[in-house]
């Protein structure tokens, strides 16, 4: 009887360890985001195109089980946590401003890009350019066509 309990405990420990590894493996797909980035944020609006300088610091937290993004520009200060849920196999994007957090938004990796959906007509896309730049942009669905409303193009900063 004692050996059966030990076997059950052993398999439970293996299951928990494997589950943690799976979260880490899912977040490793977003490793292209990790680093200290600096560049230009471009806003596309009715009043034309506007540009400002932006920094984005992205790192792993909790032994690789979370990712944090810290964005700072004259337009925005944003702290975001990205997690992966093993049960529903979704990424979650939790943005925080000085006013708090609204909710978590589902995300997914599609063709190496991290896509976050605010609703059916608004999304964020995180990708890396051929030059190795961090490219983040927001899109709105207007008359069946996705249109950019902002984009950040960032270069990795050497320490």
Position 13 scores a pLDDT of: 41
* Highest mean pLDDT of the ranges 1-5, 7-11, 31-35, 95-99: 31-35
* 100: three-class secondary structure by DSSP: strand
Query: Higher model confidence: residue 2 or residue 116?
Result: 116
* 16: three-class secondary structure by DSSP: helix
pLDDT above 70 coverage of the chain, percent: 86
63: closest CA among 17, 36, 24?
A: 24
Q: Which residues are CB-contacts of 88 (< 8 A; sequence separation ≥ 6)?
A: none
Among 18-32, 34-48, 72-86, 127-141, which is the least confidently predicted range? 18-32
Neighbours of 69 (CB within 10 A): 21
Asked whether 80 and 68 are in contact (CB, 8 A), the reply is yes
Cα separation values, 159 from 35, 37, 119, 156, Å: 10, 11, 37, 10
Position 47 scores a pLDDT of: 86
Select 2-156's CATH number: 3.30.590.20, 2.40.128.20, 1.10.3720.10, 2.40.30.170: 2.40.128.20
Residue listed under structure tokens 């401003």 = 97
How does pLDDT run across 57-74, given as a tens digit for each residue?
A: 999 999 888 999 999 999
Position 46 scores a pLDDT of: 86
Give me the mean pLDDT over the 37-65 stretch.
Answer: 93
Position 9 scores a pLDDT of: 42
Among 20-29, 35-44, 114-123, 148-157, which is the least confidently predicted range? 20-29
Domain boundaries, the chain: 2-156
């Amino acid at each position: 009887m004692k050996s059966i309990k030990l076997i059950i405990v052993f398999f439970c420990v293996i299951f928990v360890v494997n589950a943690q590894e799976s979260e880490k493996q899912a977040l490793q797909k977003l490793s292209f985001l990790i680093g200290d980035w600096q560049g230009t944020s471009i806003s596309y609006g009715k009043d034309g195109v506007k540009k400002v300088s932006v920094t984005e610091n992205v790192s792993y937290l909790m032994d690789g089980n979370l990712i944090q993004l810290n964005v700072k520009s004259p337009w925005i200060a944003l702290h975001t946590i990205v997690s992966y849920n093993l049960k529903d196999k979704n990424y979650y994007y939790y943005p925080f401003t000085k006013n708090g957090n609204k909710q978590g938004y589902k995300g997914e990796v599609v063709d190496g890009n991290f896509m976050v959906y605010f609703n059916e007509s608004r999304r964020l896309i995180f990708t890396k350019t051929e030059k190795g730049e961090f490219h983040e942009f927001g899109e709105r669905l207007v008359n069946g066509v996705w249109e950019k409303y902002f984009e950040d193009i960032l270069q990795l900063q050497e320490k």
